[in-house]
Amino acid sequence: MKLQDLTTPEGINELVAVAGRTKSYYNQPQSADQVMEVAAQAIAQNPNLAHLSIKILPNFPNAFYNYDKGELLLGLINPSALAHELGHANNLRQQGLYQKVLRAAQGITRANNVLALPTVLALRTFIQDPQRQDDILKTLAAISAAAAAPELLEETTASLSAIKNHPNRAQAIATLGPALLAHYASGMAPAAVYQLGRP
C-alpha cells in the first residue's frame, strides 16, 4: 500500500479491515476520515510522499517511520500518530547525511542512558579530586546534551508539523504533547544525571 491509497475510501477500508479491531478506532470512528485528510494534506505539501510505502501491521499498537527502509509502519487508526510519522518521512526521505547524523546521535543517547549512572559512580570511586570530577562531569553533560539535540529537534519538528496539518489541532496536541515530553525526558536524562553527579 502507498500513502496515496489512504486518501481513498478503498484504502481506508483496507486499513480499517486490518487494523480496525483496535479500541482506538471503535471509540472514535471519525479517526478514519481524519486519516484520509492527514494523508491528503501531506501529499499536497510534498507530492513525493504519495508513493511512500505503508505497511499495515494489525498487532502493532503504534505508527513508526522506518527511515532505513523508507516505509511507514502503521498499526492503528490514529491521525495524530500518522501526521507525526509523516513529519518524519518528509524530513528524512532522501537526506543521507542527516540520517547518518541522526542515527549516530540516537546511538550515543541510547548508550548514554545506560552508562550515565555507572560513569558517575565510577568517577566518584576512582577519582578523588573534586575539581577533576567536576570538569569531567561538566564535559560529559555537555556532550550528552549535544548528542540528544538532533533527535529532539527531529521529534519537535515532526510534532509541530503534525499539529499544523491535523484536522483537529487540540486532539493532536493532547496525543503528541506527552509523547514529545517523554522524548525530551529520555534524551536529556543522561545530561541531568551528569549534572546531578557533580560534587
Do 104 and 32 share a structural domain? Answer: no
Whole-number pLDDT of residue 37: 93
pLDDT tens for each residue of 59-105: 888 889 988 888 999 988 889 999 999 999 988 765 677 778 888 88
> How many domains are contained in the chain?
2
| Structural domain includes residue 55 | yes
| Structural domain includes residue 91 | no
Whole-number pLDDT of residue 84: 94
Do 188 and 108 share a structural domain? Answer: yes
Which range of residues forms the domain containing residue 30? 3-79
Do 71 and 137 share a structural domain? Answer: no
Whole-number pLDDT of residue 61: 81
> With a cut of 50, which residues of the chain have pLDDT below it?
none
SS3 67: coil
Whole-number pLDDT of residue 40: 94
| Structural domain includes residue 90 | no
pTM of the model: 0.82
Whole-number pLDDT of residue 130: 93
- The vertex-170 CA angle with 166 and 175, nearest 5°, equals 80
Whole-number pLDDT of residue 138: 95
CA 119/CA 97 separation, integer angstroms: 31
Do 121 and 68 share a structural domain? Answer: no
Whole-number pLDDT of residue 94: 57
- Boundary of a domain, candidates 79, 114, 146: 79
Do 100 and 72 share a structural domain? Answer: no
- Boundary of a domain, candidates 53, 79, 105: 79
| Structural domain includes residue 84 | no
Rounded to the nearest angstrom, the gap between the alpha carbon of residue 26 and the centroid of all alpha carbons in its chain is 25
CA 193/CA 101 separation, integer angstroms: 24
Do 128 and 45 share a structural domain? Answer: no
